[in-house]
Amino acid sequence: MQVTRRQFFRICAAGVGSSSLAALGFAPGEALAEVRAFKLARTTETRNTCPYCSVGCGLLMYSLGDNAKNTRGKIIHVEGDPDHPVNRGTLCPKGAGLLDFVNSPHRLQYPQYRAPGSKEWTRISWDDAFSRIARLMKDDRDKHFIAKNDKGETVNRWLSTGFLAASASSNETGYLTYKVVRSMGILGFDNQARV
């Protein structure tokens, strides 16, 4: 076995380090091994479903605090639900990373508005947003609504505004969205299943 001078130096250093440090008072008693504290001990556990693909994996979401009045729960960890018949606790790289989706720095925070020709967003209130959108929709609908076609048949449709529904919103959202969109007579209505 070839050992260079430098290597030998390192070997010796290691040897001295070990024994001598111990002898000089870095006693093992002070170097007690302790694993990292288990971080979920008293977090609140909530059952959920992964929002990505259609396997529908069960999730356990852990949030800070015990839901007491004076706490604001923040999700600090997500893992698979072992009771779930399909994923049995497993999660793929997307599901396993959901913590960073929920807490993404790219989550929108408040309503924003971009004026025609503008290069920037401005912050607006929900009330302003809803009122302005409702005004635009009603004006467009009133102007372009088609009650009868060329043959005089009743068709009651609104084609100049369209709606793309989501891919991961709940059935409850989807059902309410359906009621709202179709009641206005919109036909240009699709969800992500189309593409």
Partner 1 sequence: MALQSLDIKARSATTTPPPDVRARGAVPVAKLIDISKCIGCKACQVACMEWNDLRDEVGTNAGTYDNPRDLTAQSWTVMRFSEVEVEQDRLEWLIRKDGCMHCADPGCLKACPAPGAIVQYANGIVDFHEEHCIGCGYCITGCPFNIPRISQKDSKAYKCTLCSDRVAIGLEPACIKTCPTGALVFGTKDDMVLHAEGRIADLKERGYSHAALYDPKGVGGTHVMYVLQHGDKPELYANLPRDPSISPLVSLWKGVTKPLMSFGLGLAVFAGFFHYVTAGPKEVEEEEKTD
Partner 2 sequence: MTNHWVDIKNTDLVLIMGGNAAEAHPCGFKWVTEAKAHRKARLIVVDPRFTRSAAMSDFYAPIRAGSDIAFLGGVINYLLGHDRIHHEYVKHYTDFSFLVKDEFAFANGLFTGYDAEKRKYDKSSWGYQIGDDGYVRVDPTLQNPRCVYQLMKAHYSRYTPEMVATICGTPKEAFLKVCAAIADTAAPDKTMTIMYALGWTQHSVGSQMIRTGAMVQLLLGNIGVAGGGMNALRGHSNIQGLTDLGLLSNLMPGYLTLPNDAEQDYAAYVGKRTLKPLRPGQLSYWQNYPRFHVSLMKAWFGDAVTADNNWGYDWLPKLDKGYDLMQMFEDMGQGKVNGYVCQGFNPLGSAPCKVKVSNSLSKLKFMVVIDPLVTETSEFWQNHGEYNDVDPAKIQTEVFRLPSTCFAEENGSLINSGRWLQWHWKAAEPPAETLSDQEIMAGIFLRVRALYQKEGGAFPDPILNVAWKYKIPSFPSPEELAREFSGKALKDVTDPKDPGRVLVKAGEQLSGFADLRDDGSTSCGCWLFAGSWSEKGNLMARRDNADPYGVGQTLNWAYAWPANRRILYNRASCDPSGKPYDPTRAIVAWDAAAGKWGGADVPDFKIDSAPQDGMNPFIMNPEGVARFFAVDAMAEGPFPEHYEPFETPLAVNPLSPKNPEVRSNPAARVFKDIWPTLGKPDAFPYVCTTYRLTEHFHFWTQHVRLDAILQPEQFVEIGEELAKEKGIKAGDHVRVKSSHGFIVAVAVVTKRLKALTIDGRKTHTVGVPIHWGFMGLTRNGYIANTLTPYVADANSQTPEFKAFLVNLEKV
Which is closer to partner 2, CB of 5 or CB of 107?
A: 107
The verdict on 96 binding partner 2 (CB under 8 A) reads: yes
75 within 8 A of 102, measured Cβ to Cβ: yes
The verdict on 103 binding partner 1 (CB under 8 A) reads: no
Contacts to partner 2 from residues 65-84, by CB under 8 A: 72-75, 80, 83-84
CA distances to 39, 65, 72, 77, 177 from 69, in Å: 22, 10, 8, 21, 33
Q: How far apart are CA 134 and CA 180, in angstroms?
A: 12
Give how many residues touch partner 1 by CB under 8 A: 50
Contacts to partner 1 from residues 3-22, by CB under 8 A: 3-7, 9-22
Q: For the CB of residue 91, give the shortest distance to partner 1 in the complex, in Å.
A: 5
CA 72, 77, 83, 84 dihedral sign is positive
Q: Which of 56, 65, 97, 188 binds partner 1 (CB under 8 A)?
A: 97
Encoded one letter per residue, x for contact with partner 1 by CB under 8 A and - for no contact, window 57-86 reads: --------------------xxxx-x----
Which is closer to partner 2, CB of 10 or CB of 47?
A: 47
124 within 8 A of 112, measured Cβ to Cβ: yes
110 within 8 A of 132, measured Cβ to Cβ: no
The verdict on 155 binding partner 1 (CB under 8 A) reads: no
Report phi then psi at 34, rounded to 5.
-145, 125
Q: Near partner 2 by CB under 8 A, which window of 3-11, 21-29, 32-40, 168-176?
A: 168-176
Contacts of 59 (CB under 8 A, 6+ apart): 47, 48, 49, 50, 78, 79, 80, 81, 91, 95, 98
CA distances to 1, 165, 167, 188 from 130, in Å: 79, 18, 23, 21
Which is closer to partner 2, CB of 5 or CB of 72?
A: 72
Residues binding partner 1 (CB under 8 A): 1, 3-7, 9-22, 26-39, 77-80, 82, 87, 89-93, 95-97, 99-100
